Structure 1
Amino acid sequence: MKLIVRVLIVMLLSGAGWAIAEPGCKQPEVLHFATIPKKSLVQQYQEFEPLRLELQRVLGIPVQTVSVHSYQAVIEGVLSGAVDLAELGPAAYIQTKSRDPGVQALAAYSFKGGAFTPEGSYYHSLLLTGTGVNIKSIHDLEHRSVALTDPGSTSGALIPMTEFKRETGVVLADYVGKLIYAGSHDRAIEAVLSGAVDAAFVSSRRADDYIGRGEAASSDLRELWRSRPIHYDPFTVSSHLCPEVQARIRQVLLTPSSARRVLLETKGAVGMQSVSDEDYRWLEPLVRQLD
């Protein structure tokens, strides 16, 4: 009889939309959020602030941002459980998922169009140079200097080392004179505009943001190459979190609210949509090529 009662309770709770906590899963007293460094972390966390407060209200616990200065550090934080919720790049998500199949992609932005990016849920890896230099094609980059962003970046490292090579036949390390990591997309663009490097691989979205902030004009940059579309960065939850906590985070991300509206307006986004492994699976063989 007790077993029947327990089964009925489980069925009632499931029907009401509540997940049953798995043994040993994490019910955090504080939820820790981190994001990969795409530009100034101060600015990134300022943009996140409305959503942080909404998560805090819905979850009923403090939500704290964690300053992490590399893609790999965010990955390790999610894997260890030190970071509960993260905004990962697509390649960083695949790397994390390969080591812990329990991590879950929940949601990603869709954006307004810009100088280099069409409106929607996808962006591109771009090879950009300055319009003030005599570089008209990738063939002009022989023995020149090129910037990547971070070894964990999709558009700023993975795609240049795999897709770019496959499409053009150019092996960057053998072709260009100097190949450096700038540390972020903004720094890579700054290096191009200042003449510190001759070209850089960056996210088309980050280039549009840079232009949107008035730090450059679209006429200052020339596109030399463009990748196939890449789905935007997924908000990802650690496998250590209990399912009901994951479900409530997903609800906050995907349910319209005043806090979410402010976040979207701040980022120039038009919406947020549910995502899953299938949206990023095509990147798996590319990631394996660099393992």
Structure 2
Amino acid sequence: MLPPDGRSHEHLHAKCEDCFGLCCVALPFAASADFALDKNGGTPCPNLQSDFRCGIHQNLRQKGFKGCTVYECFGAGQKVSQVTFQGKDWRNYTETTKEMFDVFPIMQQLHEMLWYLTEALSLKATTSIHTELHQAIDQTEKLTLLSPEELKRLDVPAHRAEVNALLLKTSELVRADSQPKHKITRGTDLIGAKLRKADLREANLRGACLIAADLRDADIRKVDFIGADLRDANLSGADLTGSIFLTQAQINAAKGDARTKLPHLLSHPTHWGVQKQNKTQKSSK
């Protein structure tokens, strides 16, 4: 569903064809269960091709790069590549290489905030704060258009605090009449928790650590998932419809099956062994 003014998440999806492979170069990673090797920030991944595309994109998990499949830039890559640096790539314009890599994670944070704010604006429950949400989106959009120098000086934590106040209000409005059976505080450690068939409706799972939790057939409707860690959580048969602030990256990090019900903005990952559903078809149901 689109917000009243027609704003959508369309420009907040990564378009790798318009990006200079920034996530494959600017960001560091360490050899682990998520990455097959060590890589320093600013060093191109050996799988990055001359056209800035990944040479093993279709086989990342099989090749030991699971971490790449659960990363989301929220469209920051193409914004930095095509707007901030006006289409000048880091290979041919080496004088701006470091600056581009420094700006990328800042832009990613701003675009992530835009994703959550746009989602908040699309919810019927937030009608009373639509004006504030509009203002926050406009302000954040303006910040994304700053020069590289201005972006590097930006106090991102301060802006995030302002945005978070609205996101907290959104969560309260969505769950206003809720009486969750499980009182879960922010950042709760639920690693490996046995929650199969649990009734978690309208719970606050903000920042909860759900690594490898068993959530099979659980009722997780209208839950606040912002910042929750769902790595290897089993969502097979779980119902997450109506949940808020849940991203595709979080879902990609989890396990699930064809019975898992997701919010309309999200799709079943291919590694679940499920044919990806068309977002348009899902949103019309």
* TM norm structure 2: 0.26
Higher helix share: 1
Higher strand share: 1
Name which structure has the greater RCO, CA cutoff 8 Å, separation 6+: 1
* TM norm structure 1: 0.25
